[in-house]
Structure 1
Amino acid sequence: MERIAGGSDSPARSPPPVHPLVAPLEYLLGKWRGEGEGGYPTINSFSYGEELVFSHSGKPVISYSQKTWKLASGEPMHAESGYWRPRPDGSIDVVIAQSTGLVEVQKGSYDAENKIVTLKSELVGNASKVKDITRVFTVTNGELSYVVQMATQLTSLQPHLKALLKKL
């Protein structure tokens, strides 16, 4: 019996087949790493390293996890995880829990041909200041880019984060 590297007693398994509802977003599956920039009218600008992982279990859902770190020191900055549930009509439901305690429930759409996912918050929970969040993910020439915009009680929807990642 073949074993997974690292001494595990679990047998090595090939990934399950991609569920038909996940198939249009199969291009996202895997590990992505790169760098990003952040800022907002109420904070200083900053740069960060980032890793995103999109995975599946054969069910009609994509697991999502993200972590960032300071480029200079490698010190952890932010983490979030959740689930993306694509629908047959090109819509998508997303839930994300952030390490800060903030939770997002987002709805959006995907364009499989142009490799674009657009999300807008329906609910931002456990946030004293954040009112609205939008996210747009695009894959072009094998690179994943995204832009996050945010609105608070004091500001309208404004750019907050942007990054460019390469698949590992």
Structure 2
Amino acid sequence: MEYDGDRQPPPLHPTVAPISYLLGRWRGEGEGQFPTISSFLYGEELQFSHSGKPVIAYSQKTWKLNSGEPMHSESGFWRPKPDGTIEVVIAQSTGIVEVQKGTYNADEQVIKLQSQLVGNASKVKEISRVFELVNGKLSYEVQMSTNTNHLQPHLKAVLNKI
């Protein structure tokens, strides 16, 4: 949720505080690969916002670098728990939904997610995601497995806060 100049954002919920470094808008470039597709480059923007509840809203969009043509988008919710675990639900523009569970390390600023469910996907079987903040830049890596390929790198990007 964004706030105009007349409204102040609500106080940060204590369970969101350890990963509050994610909050805001991030933009950068990434690259994709997988054995069944040609490698590609893309531009990307992520947004993380909060409403004072124990959850962070997440949205992502990507575009072709050369033309600006829209590519993939997804949105969802990140629910950190006081014990260092996190649950994430994501709906992709392709119709795939993910339920991810994992851990966050507030000191190292690393979040590791592993799919518990990949729904409405005829080929995708498993997805893992790792987000890390290093020197003020948010980087991530996504690995994927399908009916015919084991879990392996699919996407990676480095984003700057804007």
Q: TM range, normalised to the smaller chain?
A: over 0.9
Equivalent residue in structure 2 for 1:37, among 21, 31, 40: 31
From the CA coordinates, give the structure whose radius of gyration is larger.
1
Q: Residue 126 of structure 2 aligns with which residue?
A: 132
Residues 41-94 of structure 1, C-alpha deviation per residue, up to 9 Å, x if partnerless? Answer: 000000000000000000000000000000011000000000000001000000
Residues 99-152 of structure 1, C-alpha deviation per residue, up to 9 Å, x if partnerless? Answer: 000000000000000000000000000000000000000001000000000000
**CA distance in 1: counterparts of 2:4 and 2:54, whole angstroms:** 26
Q: Residue 143 of structure 1 aligns with which residue?
A: 137
Deviation of 1:37 (Å): 0.1
Number of paired residues? 160
- Amino acid across the alignment from 2:146: T
Secondary structure (helix, strand or coil) at the match of 2:33 reads: strand
Secondary structure (helix, strand or coil) at the match of 1:124 reads: strand
Which segments of 5 or more consecutive residues in structure 1 lack a partner in the other structure? 6-11
Q: Residue 17 of structure 2 aligns with which residue?
A: 23
Equivalent residue in structure 2 for 1:76, among 63, 70, 75: 70
**CA distance in 2: counterparts of 1:25 and 1:94, whole angstroms:** 13
**CA distance in 1: counterparts of 2:72 and 2:57, whole angstroms:** 18
**CA distance in 1: counterparts of 2:82 and 2:139, whole angstroms:** 24
Secondary structure (helix, strand or coil) at the match of 1:24 reads: helix
Q: Where does 1:1-168 land on structure 2 (aligned, <5 Å)?
A: 4=4, 12-168=6-162
**CA distance in 1: counterparts of 2:89 and 2:45, whole angstroms:** 18
Secondary structure (helix, strand or coil) at the match of 2:87 reads: strand
What TM-score comes out, normalization by structure 2 length?
Answer: 0.97
Secondary structure (helix, strand or coil) at the match of 2:54 reads: coil
**CA distance in 2: counterparts of 1:30 and 1:50, whole angstroms:** 14
Which segments of 5 or more consecutive residues in structure 2 lack a partner in the other structure? none
**CA distance in 1: counterparts of 2:11 and 2:108, whole angstroms:** 23
Q: Percent identity?
A: 70
Secondary structure (helix, strand or coil) at the match of 1:25 reads: helix
